[in-house]
């Protein structure tokens, strides 16, 4: 038994080893089989989900959308993109998921069933970037390309950074309700281009029949399309649309600026209508998208931020809530308030403080010999002294007073300083601040904070309207960080007194960080020539200190605008001509028109006139960039940065002072010349707002002049 047992033991041992080996192999095979089955199930399920969602999206193709399904990610051998959807609402890069657990956005990352699935979000963003690069060659802004994750079998409508998360049921309605951004010709061209760049995907390991069921017809081999033809078609379509839908075009030069990397503060300048704001808006959206941070888009005027916010929301809704459109002063007040810094801004009391200071130390001083109007000296304090942050007489005594015409010798400067000190004393007695104080306080606060302002980038539009302290404040928020500060503006459109150079603000813009746009996309030759003739003699110095002649070279690309003149002998006749011109328009044409005036008084007058004549009016103070009924009515200054299909300037020439008479502060003096220069700049701005019609009304007989008065 023992031997048998021993022999039997040896045979039994090898059988047992074989059995163990067999078991091990079985376990391995089972595991492989289980994995293969799971893989197959996942694949089949994903494929079903993909097809269900594609079927949903097919209904969009009946409404002008184009769907490309299962495409190869360019530059890779085996990676694919589930879908590319191109339609009036933009370009969507879609990743379809068939997850058992619902997606959960958490602190900017993607989770599902408690596990991180963020690699899917990151891959989608990387493919989206490839799509952005692809459409950039057609002049399309990266902000029109949007990543979307579609979840089969889930109900979800959420956002995760720039990625939209939509469930199977939500995706169709959500995309259908997207507002129109692209005209039909662009949709066609983009789809054809993307079909070429993202070819059909062929999985080397996939022997299933091609998934054609959900694939709509795509025309892929039409050859190269005509880019100019496309642009023309897009422009034609936009021309018919309300003016609010204009701002979605970019040329390759603009696009390059939107996407560029700048190692420090940058600046974009260029004549009126050259697309500076369009670049600024697209860049703000692009930076918000790319960095995931917040962007401040600041300007001087109160009404412009509302309008720009509306445009941006239409253009790039996914990032709209991360871009703050603010007027500089309202932002600064809030900034101080949030930090517990007391501000007592009181315009009227500050005005009283100045009036008293003028009465006590200004009116009878040598200043009155130069200009007896207190306004000039108030401006000197506001724009030259406080606006530039001057705090000692020694600084002021030697200051180059940019864009100020009256030459001030030392006794005059001493008199100005005495006036300034008296004003500050009166103001302090009333314990109130003026607008300049708000900016100075905010600058002191920001400078001490070492850039912890919560913004990754600051874009400043119409920078020429800001004071030096205002620009310093915005610079302090982001410092010299890469892509931090972008200043956009045009010195020819300065409508406030005084000026400064960027170097005064310690902002160093060098090399390719200073860019100039030259192609005017808004005004025809006739309108540009008319506007330039107003400022032809007014050479101006821009923020870089460069002197430019008033009649500057502009490349024209838009050829449809015309100037209409109505010169009538009486004011009554002139006003009748204006009313007749407005009555002749359709309601939509009136909504795309603006009546612009140089003073508050004139605005009030034309408000009464239009209302009595039954013409609906929408004040520019209220206008927010959404299509609204009624003729827009406002001042030249409030029209800054805006544009209209038709612009009506009643008695436009009445504000231009005659240059003949002589006298202190009167026509012919240096200060009067300076006022005239500002009036001409404002008129220039008003004229260049017109796209299709610039209507210029004038009164040829006596009584056609307004007293010159600012707002
Ligand atoms: N590449 C382009 N193709 C067609 N239209 C364009 C293009 N770029 C800008 N536009 C259009 O030109 C007009 C002027 O653009 P924008 O307001 O940005 O110019 P701007 O330089 O900021 O003007 P301004 O200094 O006079 O306020 C807008 O209607 C805009 O949509």
- Please give the pLDDT value at position 283: 95
As given in the structure block, the two tokens for residue 415 are: 């008199």
Span of 231-245, 595-609, 649-663 with lowest mean pLDDT: 231-245
- Give the pLDDT mean for 175-199: 83
What's the CA-to-centroid distance between 246 and ligand 1, angstroms? 8
Mutate to test the pocket of ligand 1, among 182, 522, 560 (most ligand atoms within 8 A of CB): 522
What's the CA-to-centroid distance between 687 and ligand 1, angstroms? 15
Name the helix (H) or strand (E) containing 601: helix 600-612
Q: Is 307 in the pocket of ligand 1 (CB under 6 A)?
A: no
pLDDT tens-digit series, residues 209-252: 444 333 333 333 332 334 455 556 556 666 666 666 666 667 88
- Give the pLDDT mean for 86-97: 90
As given in the structure block, the two tokens for residue 700 are: 């040829």
Mutate to test the pocket of ligand 1, among 278, 299, 690 (most ligand atoms within 8 A of CB): 278
Report CA-CA distances (Å) from 276 to 194, 378, 648, 680: 28, 32, 24, 22
Q: Is 278 in the pocket of ligand 1 (CB under 6 A)?
A: yes
What's the CA-to-centroid distance between 146 and ligand 1, angstroms? 23
Question: Which has the higher per-residue pLDDT, 321 or 230?
Answer: 321
Of 599, 504, 495, 597, nearest to 538 by C-alpha is: 495
Q: Is 458 in the pocket of ligand 1 (CB under 6 A)?
A: no
As given in the structure block, the two tokens for residue 506 are: 């310690």
What's the CA-to-centroid distance between 236 and ligand 1, angstroms? 15
Nearest ligand 1 atom to alpha carbon 234: 4
Distance CA 476, CA 482 (A): 14
Nearest ligand 1 atom to alpha carbon 270: 21
Q: Whose alpha carbon is nearest atom 3 of ligand 1? A: 249
Of 164, 148, 42, nearest to 98 by C-alpha is: 42
> What's the burial of 427, exposed, middle or buried (CB within 10 Å: 0-12/13-18/19+)?
buried
- Please give the pLDDT value at position 246: 62
Q: Is 247 in the pocket of ligand 1 (CB under 6 A)?
A: yes
| Alpha helices, H only, 431-494 | 435-447, 468-478
- Give the pLDDT mean for 372-385: 95
As given in the structure block, the two tokens for residue 674 are: 């300076």
Q: Whose alpha carbon is nearest atom 13 of ligand 1? A: 522
As given in the structure block, the two tokens for residue 319 are: 């990032």
- Please give the pLDDT value at position 15: 78
Name the helix (H) or strand (E) containing 413: helix 410-430
- DSSP class of residue 42 equals H
pLDDT tens-digit series, residues 490-521: 989 988 888 889 889 999 898 899 999 999 99
What's the CA-to-centroid distance between 669 and ligand 1, angstroms? 37
pLDDT at 42 over 60: no
As given in the structure block, the two tokens for residue 394 are: 């020694």
Q: Is 244 in the pocket of ligand 1 (CB under 6 A)?
A: no
Q: Rounded to two decimals, what is the model's pTM? A: 0.79
Nearest ligand 1 atom to alpha carbon 281: 18
């Amino acid at each position: 038994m023992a031997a048998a047992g021993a022999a039997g033991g040896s045979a039994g041992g090898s059988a047992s080893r074989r059995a163990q080996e067999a078991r091990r192999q079985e376990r391995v095979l089972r595991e492989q089989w289980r994995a293969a089955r799971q893989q197959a199930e996942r694949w089949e399920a994903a494929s079903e989900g993909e097809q269900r969602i594609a079927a949903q999206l097919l209904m969009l193709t009946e409404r002008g959308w184009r769907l490309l399904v299962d495409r190869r990610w360019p530059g890779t051998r085996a990676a694919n993109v589930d879908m590319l959807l191109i339609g009036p609402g933009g370009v969507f890069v879609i990743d379809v998921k068939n997850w058992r657990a619902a997606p959960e956005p958490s602190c900017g990352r993607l989770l599902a069933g408690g596990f991180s699935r963020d690699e899917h979000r990151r891959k989608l963003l990387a493919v989206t970037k490839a799509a952005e690069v692809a459409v950039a060659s057609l002049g399309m802004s990266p902000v029109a390309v949007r990543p979307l994750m579609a979840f089969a079998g889930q109900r979800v409508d959420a956002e995760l950074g720039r990625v939209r998360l939509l469930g199977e049921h939500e995706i169709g309605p959500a995309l259908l309700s997207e507002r129109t951004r692209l005209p039909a010709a662009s949709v066609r061209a983009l789809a054809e281009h993307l079909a070429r760049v993202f070819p059909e995907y062929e999985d080397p390991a996939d022997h299933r029949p091609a998934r054609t069921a959900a694939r709509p017809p795509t025309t892929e081999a039409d050859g190269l399309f005509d880019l100019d033809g496309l642009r023309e078609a897009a422009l034609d379509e936009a021309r018919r649309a309300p003016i609010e839908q204009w701002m979605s075009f970019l040329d390759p030069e603009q696009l390059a600026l939107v996407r560029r990397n700048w190692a420090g503060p940058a600046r974009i300048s260029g004549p009126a209508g050259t697309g500076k704001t369009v670049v600024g808006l697209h860049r703000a959206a692009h930076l918000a998208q790319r960095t995931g941070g917040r962007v401040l888009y600041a300007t001087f005027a109160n009404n412009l931020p509302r309008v720009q916010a509306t445009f941006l929301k239409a253009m790039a809704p996914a990032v709209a809530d991360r871009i703050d459109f603010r007027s500089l002063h309202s932002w600064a007040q809030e900034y101080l308030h949030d930090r517990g810094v007391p501000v007592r801004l009181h315009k009227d009391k500050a005005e009283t403080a100045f009036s008293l200071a003028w009465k006590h130390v200004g009116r009878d001083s040598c200043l009155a010999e130069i200009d007896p109007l207190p306004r000039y000296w108030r401006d000197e304090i506001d724009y030259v002294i406080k606006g530039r942050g001057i705090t000692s007489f020694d600084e002021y005594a030697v200051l180059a007073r940019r864009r100020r015409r009256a030459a001030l010798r030392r006794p005059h400067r001493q008199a100005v300083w005495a006036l300034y000190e008296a004003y500050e004393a009166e103001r302090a007695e009333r314990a109130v601040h003026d607008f300049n104080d708000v900016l100075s306080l905010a600058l002191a606060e920001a400078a001490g904070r070492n850039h912890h302002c919560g913004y990754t980038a600051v874009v400043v539009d119409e920078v020429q309207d800001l004071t030096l302290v205002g620009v310093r404040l915005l610079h302090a928020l982001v410092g010299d960080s890469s892509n931090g500060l972008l200043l956009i503006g045009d010195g020819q459109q300065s409508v406030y007194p005084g000026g400064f150079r960027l170097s005064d603000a310690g902002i160093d813009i060098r090399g390719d960080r200073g860019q100039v746009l030259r192609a005017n996309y808004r005004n025809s030759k006739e309108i540009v020539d008319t506007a330039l003739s107003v400022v032809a003699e007014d050479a101006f110095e821009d923020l870089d200190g460069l002197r430019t002649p008033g009649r500057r070279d502009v490349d024209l690309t838009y050829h449809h605008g015309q100037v209409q003149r109505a010169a009538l002998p009486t004011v009554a006749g002139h006003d009748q001509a204006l009313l007749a011109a407005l009555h002749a328009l359709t309601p939509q044409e009136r909504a795309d028109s603006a009546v612009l005036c140089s003073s508050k008084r004139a605005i009030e007058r034309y408000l009464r006139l239009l209302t009595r004549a039954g013409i609906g009016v929408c004040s520019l103070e209220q206008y927010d960039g959404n299509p609204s009924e009624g003729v827009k009515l406002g001042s030249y200054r409030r029209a800054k940065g805006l544009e209209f299909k038709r612009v009506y300037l009643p008695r436009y020439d009445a504000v231009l002072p005659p240059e003949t008479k002589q006298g202190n502060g009167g026509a012919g003096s240096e200060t009067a010349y300076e006022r005239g220069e500002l009036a001409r700049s404002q008129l220039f701005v008003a004229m260049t707002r017109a796209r299709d019609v610039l209507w210029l009304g004038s009164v040829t007989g006596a009584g056609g002049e307004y007293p010159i008065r600012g707002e």
